Amino acid sequence: MKGALQLVFAAVLVAAPSGVAAWGALGHETTGYVAMQFIGSKTLSAVQSSLGSTFNFSLGPAATWADTVRSETAFKFSAPFHFIDAEDNPPTSCSVDISRDCGSAGCVISAIQNYTERVQETKLSATQHQQALLFITHFIGDIGQPLHDEALELGGNDIDAICDGSSTNLHAAWDTGMLEKNLDANFSGDPQVYAASLATRITSGDFKSLAAGWVSCIEPSALNSTACPLIWAQEANAFDCTNVFDFKTGQDLCDSAYYTAAIPVIDLQLAKQGYRLAKWLDAIFE
Ligand SMILES: *[C@@H]1O[C@H](CO)[C@@H](O)[C@H](O)[C@H]1NC(C)=O
Ligand SMILES: *[C@@H]1O[C@H](CO)[C@@H](O)[C@H](O)[C@H]1NC(C)=O
Ligand SMILES: *[C@@H]1O[C@H](CO)[C@@H](O)[C@H](O)[C@H]1NC(C)=O
Ligand SMILES: *[C@@H]1O[C@H](CO)[C@@H](O)[C@H](O)[C@H]1NC(C)=O
Ligand SMILES: [Zn+2]
């Protein structure tokens, strides 16, 4: 999983030197910018003073930090925190089970719990609080990507795939390939424009009736537990049985019915995780 992500990261650096770093960077920035539209005023102050100008005072740019440090020696420990290796059997049966799937090195569910506690721990330093906030922001994005909640073929990294004629793998197609195509075609390639569109769908569009249900688990007493992250992982993992593995060898994932079915899933997951991030941070800071 790490190798493929580093490749994706390197490709993004070469192809887009002006972009932030290598969901992929676009997905993470999108969830961060969606969250910025929904956080309360106390959360906004806390977030802005913690992130500072390094992250342009915004969860959008901050959301990619955890990917940029995961290969550094000092942050190697955080590599398993980006996913949970669900040992289920897609597309026949999908499930996430913490005791079965969250290894001794930790996983995205235990990491969200850990950094949620640490961001509230008054004895920790400002730097430690900032790192906790950066990790929460990133991992609430990762947990919504169906292949970050799947062990099969290294979360799809070991499955060859094609996206718009280019060779890739299934994991990267979901992290970046399909997302980039949709962003370029519909949102000027700009995650802020995409996030604004998702936020409008939450406020007054087709997501409006769903949004309360997305965050129904979030309350102060649930913050320090794995209850909410487990639900989020199970929800994303369910798409491994409906969409993710539903393709034929050689099919172009970015130019077929597979793509048309995947885009609404990606929109939903990014909108949902951005909204959840906002309400999770509000439960901490408001
Ligand atoms: C930084 O934030 C400001 C204010 O929200 C925005 O106008 C600007 O585009 C942002 N800069 C970058 C590089 O994202
Ligand atoms: C919690 O975070 C700290 C600081 O990054 C880390 O050293 C520790 O291993 C984490 N614990 C768990 C259970 O993830
Ligand atoms: C959660 O953990 C933090 C940090 O240890 C603590 O300050 C807070 O009271 C805990 N909240 C609940 C609801 O247990
Ligand atoms: C543009 O967005 C629409 C609506 O979500 C989607 O159906 C379509 O596939 C997108 N176009 C491309 C090229 O991604
Ligand atoms: Zn990640």
Q: What is the pTM of this model?
A: 0.92
Angle at CA of residue 83, ends 64 and 69, nearest 5°: 35
CA distance 51 to 45: 10
CA distance 26 to 16: 12
122 lines ligand 3 (CB under 6 A): no
Span from the CA of 200 to the centroid of ligand 3 (angstroms):
33
Span from the CA of 72 to the centroid of ligand 5 (angstroms):
14
Span from the CA of 220 to the centroid of ligand 3 (angstroms):
9
What's the CATH number where 22 sits? 1.10.575.10
CA distances from 198 to 64, 151, 283 (A): 19, 29, 22
Predicted confidence (pLDDT) at residue 19 exceeds the cutoff of 90:
no
Q: What is the pLDDT of residues 102-134, one digit of tens each?
A: 999 999 999 999 999 999 999 999 999 999 999
For residue 212, the enclosing domain spans 2-285
* Residues identified as active-site: 23, 28, 67, 70, 82, 138, 142, 148, 171, 175
Residue located nearest, by CA, to atom 8 of ligand 2: 114
Residue located nearest, by CA, to atom 4 of ligand 1: 56
Paired residues of 88 in beta bridges: none
What is the distance, to the nearest Å, from the Cα of residue 190 to the centroid of all Cα atoms in its chain?
17
Question: Which residues lie closer than 8 Å to 138 by C-beta, 6 or more apart?
Answer: 28, 63, 64, 65, 66, 67, 82
CA distance 166 to 255: 11
Structural domain count of the chain: 1
Q: Rounded mean pLDDT of 2-23?
A: 36
Q: How confident is the model at residue 6 (pLDDT cuts 50, 70, 90)?
A: very low
219 lines ligand 3 (CB under 6 A): no
Q: What is the pLDDT of residues 264-284, one digit of tens each?
A: 999 999 999 999 999 999 999
